[in-house]
Amino acid sequence: MSINQLQHIIGGEKVSGSSGRIFDIYNPAKGKVIRQIEGASSKDTENAIQVASNALEGWSQIPPSKRAQIMFTYRELIIKHTDELAELVSQEHGKTFADAKGEVGRGLEIVEYCTAINNHLKSDFSADVSRGIDSHNLRQPIGVCAGIVPFNFPAMVPMWMYPVAISCGNTFVLKLSEKVPSCGLRLTELMHEAGLPTGVLNTIVGDKEAVDELLTNPLVRAVSFVGSTNIGEYIYQEGSKNNKRVQALCGAKNHMIVMPDADLEQSSDAIIGAAYGSAGERCMAISVVVAVGDETADQLIESLMPKVKSLNIGSYDDPEVEMGPVVSKASQEKIVSYIEAGINEGAELKVDGRSETKKEGFFVGGCLFDHVTSDMSIYTDEIFGPVLSVVRVPTYDKALTLVNDHEYGNGTAIFTRDGDTARHFTSNVKVGMVGVNIPIPVPVAMHSFGGWKRSLFGGSSIHGMEGVRFYTQLKTITSRWPSGIRKGAKFNFESGKDV
């Protein structure tokens, strides 16, 4: 069977890479290569940046209302091609088709937010800050921006970046994951079909060589990143060292506290979707349940075990499947090594999903650990797989301390019927995104997404108004007009001419 050869998109044209490194793109449900692409070299990346820079002046002077019109057209094209885009996501990532369609929909929300860019760019005006002096501000484009995106959300995360940057008048270089590039490339084609001038959005597929060019090239003014903490910290440090504005959204270990007064069946159902959806390969997955009290823990474990065991695991093209494979053989092996470490460290494996690794493809079944403690690697590390740990604590205060003491602070949730407990938790937890009886509290488009602690470097959340602020620079104008210029002016309205 011939393998489809993909190309980068620079200046609206499909371009072959020149790094000499061929990336194999797998269907993880089959464990087989379905596409290939030669990675972008530093020279290819430099070319994409230069093309974006050449397009900047013309695009930045396009009125925001005209940019919004392109986003309206883009929205319609994404809706029209949702199934196609979701198919590409599922083929290369492995998540179920329903999950992939949901991902496209969440990215679409950001595009819809950008159709109102006029409103988001409105400025403030203050009259008479002093006698005869007025002051106002403007939000203007920052320049060439770059986005570096992960494998786990090939549609949604790119749409968290470039639509906002482009709507604000910037040009953009998007660096896709070499594991799952097809959806991002197709989204770029649709952006041009919507009427975007060539050179405004340029999309490449590459590794560290391409990333380093983005971080060091002086034409790039801002870099957005979503991915692992070690890489995110590197991107933040290198980008900042090279005078770039950086937002780096990184790793997570998301806790869900279950109080004794919670509806335990509702909590159990929520946990299943939050822990095992997308095979746990999402930065907002719940990977730790903190059960307050042994009775709460016992009931949760009893409810969870049959649900985890009965998960229908297989390929995305089976409509009955609830969980697909993980993205690669390396990910599969890493997850299995964590499961073995958890057993060796003394945790109790209540559901063992390792038998699924015997299937064709990169599968790992749902795993459930009980009696996990905070010194175990399955608790401290982001596993990025379908592995759920249950930690038992005697009190709410102990649960809150556990969450706050972890190095990550991306997302968290509490399930309770008590408003006072929920209010105390939302006020005092040291985490960026908090759910109350909501297991995965991903903010909608008009709000912004971002964690705390080592889950975010650069201090800027993504999309929403935080995204608009990140991709623009503030200019404040203070003005005074000399008095007296009106004296002697005459207007002859009868003649239709001003004199």
Residues carrying an active site annotation? 283
Cα(160)–Cα(196) distance, rounded to whole angstroms? 17
Place of tokens 């649960």: 399
| Cβ atoms 59, 200 nearer than 8 A | yes
Q: What single-letter amino acid sits at 450?
A: G
| Cβ atoms 156, 184 nearer than 8 A | no
Antiparallel, parallel or unpaired: β 220-226 and 144-148: parallel
| Cβ atoms 115, 75 nearer than 8 A | yes
Cα(409)–Cα(250) distance, rounded to whole angstroms? 10
Under DSSP, is residue 169 helix (H, G, I), strand (E, B) or coil? coil
Task: Check residue 176 and report its DSSP letter.
Answer: E
Cα(243)–Cα(406) distance, rounded to whole angstroms? 31
CA dihedral (75, 80, 81, 83) in degrees, to 10, reads: 120
Closest CA to 407 of 456, 443, 440: 456
Cα(150)–Cα(383) distance, rounded to whole angstroms? 15
Q: What single-letter amino acid sits at 15?
A: V
Cα(323)–Cα(217) distance, rounded to whole angstroms? 41
Sheet of 456-457, strand order? 13-15, 8-10, 201-205, 171-176, 144-148, 220-226, 245-249, 456-457
Q: How far is CA 7 from CA 52, 188, 351, in A?
A: 18, 12, 43
Phi-psi region of 67 (alpha: psi -120 to 50; beta: other; left: phi over 0): alpha
Closest CA to 311 of 321, 299, 319: 321
Task: Check residue 198 and report its DSSP letter.
Answer: T
Within 8 A by CB and 6+ apart from 452, the residues are 409, 410, 430, 431, 432
Cα(172)–Cα(339) distance, rounded to whole angstroms? 40
Closest CA to 35 of 3, 72, 68, 1: 3
Q: What single-letter amino acid sits at 408?
A: Y
